[in-house]
Amino acid sequence: MNNEYHYPVLLYKAIEYLLNPFFKKHTIVDGTTGGGSYSEAIAEKISDDSRLICIDKDIHAIEFASLRLQKYHAKVIFEKGNFADIRTYVNKNGYNEISGLVLDLGLSNYQLKSEPGFSYMRDTVLDMRADKNSDFTAEELVNNYEVDELVGVFENYGEIGNSERLAKAIISSRKQNIIKTTGMLSEVIRNEYHLSGTNKSAYANKFLSKIYQALRIEVNGELNDLKKVLEESFRLLADKGRIVIISYHSLEDRIVKQYFREKSDKYFRKTFLKGGNHEHFSENRKINILTKKVVIPDYKERAENPKSRSAKLRAAEIIKST
C-alpha cells in the first residue's frame, strides 16, 4: 500500500464501526482524506448508489487521492476544504444528512516529509499551513505573538511546563533576528534548554515534538475545527448514523471523549432526568457510545507502524427519538 501520505491506523476497526449495515445506501464523509486509504476501503464496501464525500485542506492530498480512487469515480466526490465546514459540502452536493463520518486526525507522511514547517527534523521555512490559501503561518506566530499569547499556545496545546521561559527565549532571539526557519526555531529551543548535541535523544525529540504540535494546532485552528465538526456532524447524522474519530494526542481525545459523553443517552438519563432539566437535550437526538473503552492498535500494528502507538479510536451512533 502506498503510504506517501499516511499509513492508515486502525483501518479495519474504523470501517467496521463506521459502516452501519442498517443502511443499504450510504452517504459517508471522509473529512481527512489524505492519501485516500480510508476512502478506498469505504468505496470498496459501499453500494454503487451510495456516495462518499472526501474532504481535505491540502490540494496535493486531493489530487493524489483522486488518482488512487479513480475506479470509484461514480460514487466518490472530492472537495478541497476544511472538515469543520462539513455542512457546506454535504448540502452543496444535494444531501441533508449523512450515514457516517470518519476523521483520522494524524499528520500525513507527506506533510512531515514534503510540506514546510511541520517537522523539526527538516530545516524549512516556518509555514505549517495545511491550507496554503491561509495567510497565517508559523513564522508570523513566532515573530509576532506577545509573551502571554505564546504562553497560552505552549501551555494549552503543547502542555509545556513553565511556558513563559520558552516564550521569553523566543522573543529574546527574534529581537536579534527574525525566526524564519525550523532550524532557527529549534536552535533557540535547544540553546535555552541545553539540548544541543542531543538531537537524537528521546527527551529532546519528544520536547520538540510537543512545541511543534502546539504551533501547528494554533496555525491551523485544529481544536476549534474539531469542536465545530462534532457539533455539525451531530446534527447532520441520520438516525443510526455513525461517527468514528482517530486522534493522536490527549487534547483531541479529551474533546472527543467529553463531547460523546455529554451527548450520550446514558449521561442524559443520569444527569438531566434526575434533575428534571431537559433543556440541554431539547433536540430529539442523543449519542450511543459504541466504544465503551477507547480502541488502540494491537501489538502487531504498533510493531509494523510505530507511529500508531499513540492512536486512539472512539466511535458513536446517533439515536433519534420521536
Residues 140 and 173 in one domain: yes
User: Quick check: 157 and 213 in contact, CB under 8 A?
Assistant: yes
Domain that holds residue 305: 11-109+222-320
* More confident call, 125 vs 265: 125
Residue 213 falls inside a structural domain: yes
Pairing verdict, β 51-56 and 76-80? parallel
Residue 1 falls inside a structural domain: no
Give the C-alpha separation, 281 to 284, whole Å. 7
* More confident call, 321 vs 225: 225
Label residue 200 by pLDDT band (50, 70, 90): low
Residues 228 and 187 in one domain: no
For the segment 129-187, what is each residue's pLDDT rounded down to a tens digit? 988 889 999 999 999 999 999 999 999 999 999 999 999 999 999 999 999 999 999 99
Residues 272 and 229 in one domain: yes
Residues 59 and 19 in one domain: yes
Q: With pLDDT > 70 as the criterion, what percentage of the chain qualifies? A: 87
Taking residues 276-288, what's their average pLDDT? 68
Taking residues 253-273, what's their average pLDDT? 82
Picking from 220, 255, 281, the residue at the C-terminal end of a domain is: 220
Picking from 165, 191, 220, the residue at the C-terminal end of a domain is: 220
Residue 234 falls inside a structural domain: yes
pLDDT at residue 101 is higher than 90? yes
Residue 290 falls inside a structural domain: yes
Residue 4 falls inside a structural domain: no
pTM score above 0.85: yes
Give the C-alpha separation, 90 to 262, whole Å. 25
Query: How many domains, the chain?
Result: 2
Q: Report the chain's mean pLDDT, rounded to a whole number.
A: 90
The CB density around residue 204, as the number of other CB atoms within 10 Å, is: 20
User: Quick check: 125 and 185 in contact, CB under 8 A?
Assistant: no
Residue 314 belongs to domain with CATH number: 3.40.50.150
User: Quick check: 296 and 313 in contact, CB under 8 A?
Assistant: yes
Residue 100 falls inside a structural domain: yes
Residues 250 and 186 in one domain: no
Residues 207 and 227 in one domain: no
Output the nine-digit C-alpha cell for 13. 476497526
